[in-house]
Amino acid sequence: MSTTQFMLGIVVAMILTVAGAAQAKVVTRDINYKDGDVELKGYYAYDDAVPGPRPGVLIVHAWWGLGSDEKGRARQLAELGYAAFALDMYGADRFTEDPTQAGQWAGAFYQDRLLARSRAAAGLKLLTAQKEVDASRVAAIGYCFGGTIVTELAYSGADLKGIVSFHGGPMPACEGDAARVKAKVLICHGSADTLVPMENIHKFAESLAGSAVDWQLVVYSGAKHSFTTPSVDKFNIPGAGYDAAADRRSWAQMRSFFDEIFAR
């Protein structure tokens, strides 16, 4: 082969590689589903260039409802090679920026933990039914209220490899809950979170004492509640605020956690 032919081959290979990359894209779509008689609408994202089934990640929104923040996280996860589904806890298109309304919607699930588990399980069932998802390798992550919900899902005995709570308020395990947990647990929390103080996190940890649950807690100094959410600052909620360093570090911590739990 001549030098000219060799160089031409390299150029052709580069063009084909670039063309293939250009064709790959993150595919997103809204998906309607139900929990009992309640109409729900979630958001699904995956990269169509990833061959075959890949790990799935369930995303549970903050107390405002399913919005742009969680949809953005779904796309980020798809770009990393996962299939991600941002579920809907409240009902199709129920989203608010009114803290009072958000508190009322979220409060129904704090008061009825079985309802919380059922609603989250409906989203998990939908995710694992997607052809892009390896149902044997699934995790759930949640933000604020969503962090509470993913721990409830784990307590239910859901078939999860792991869960991640970002500035969530995980409630202590009830009798029998810890024995049902199959997931490894990562709690990412801010030391300056006065809405969910460290005392609450310690009670959660104490409720797992003596169990076989594999859990870890990472605390970010000076970080407040909602430290992963830039838009929270506009609400001027005492004890809440965005923290770029904690946001970046917790995402990196999650990625390392996923590498561990999804390893074959």
Residue 15, pLDDT > 90, answer no
Segment 226-238 mean pLDDT? 95
What local confidence, expressed as pLDDT, does residue 13 receive? 45
pLDDT band at 30 (very low <50, low <70, confident <90, very high): very high
46 domain residue, yes or no: yes
Residue 77, pLDDT > 80, answer yes
Exposure string for 14-47, b = 16+ CB within 10 A, e = fewer: eeeeeeeeeeeebeeeebebebeebebebbbbbb
Question: Facing residues of 186 across strands?
Answer: 164, 216
- Which run of H or of E encompasses 13? helix 3-23
9 domain residue, yes or no: no
5 domain residue, yes or no: no
Question: Facing residues of 40 across strands?
Answer: 33
Q: What are phi and psi of 213, to 5 degrees?
A: -65, 130
140 domain residue, yes or no: yes
What is the extent of the structural domain holding 223? Answer: 25-261
Residue 255, pLDDT > 50, answer yes
47 domain residue, yes or no: yes
Q: What percent of the chain has pLDDT over 70?
A: 91
Q: Is the pTM of this model over 0.85?
A: yes
Segment 43-61 mean pLDDT? 97
113 domain residue, yes or no: yes
Quote the CA–CA distance of 50 and 184 in Å, as a whole number. 26
- CA atoms within 13 Å, Cβ hemisphere of 95: 15
Environment class of residue 130 by beta-carbon count within 10 Å: exposed (0-12), middle (13-18) or buried (19+)?
A: middle
Q: What are phi and psi of 189, to 5 degrees?
A: -140, 155
CB 226 within 8 A of CB 241: yes
Q: Which of 6-20, 58-72, 157-171, 183-197 has the lowest mean pLDDT?
A: 6-20
What local confidence, expressed as pLDDT, does residue 240 receive? 97
Segment 122-134 mean pLDDT? 98
Token pair belonging to 102: 């958000």
209 domain residue, yes or no: yes
Per-residue pLDDT of 90-116, as tens digits, reads: 999 999 999 999 999 999 999 999 999
**Mean pLDDT value across the chain:** 93
Quote the CA–CA distance of 251 and 201 in Å, as a whole number. 20
Q: What is the CATH number of the domain that holds 51?
A: 3.40.50.1820
What local confidence, expressed as pLDDT, does residue 2 receive? 54
Residue 124, pLDDT > 80, answer yes
What local confidence, expressed as pLDDT, does residue 11 receive? 42
Q: How many CB atoms lie within 10 A of CB 195?
A: 16
Count up the domains in the chain and report the number: 1
Per-residue pLDDT of 148-200, as tens digits, reads: 999 999 999 999 999 999 999 999 999 999 999 999 999 999 999 999 999 99
First to last CA, the chain: 42
SS3 for 134? strand
239 domain residue, yes or no: yes
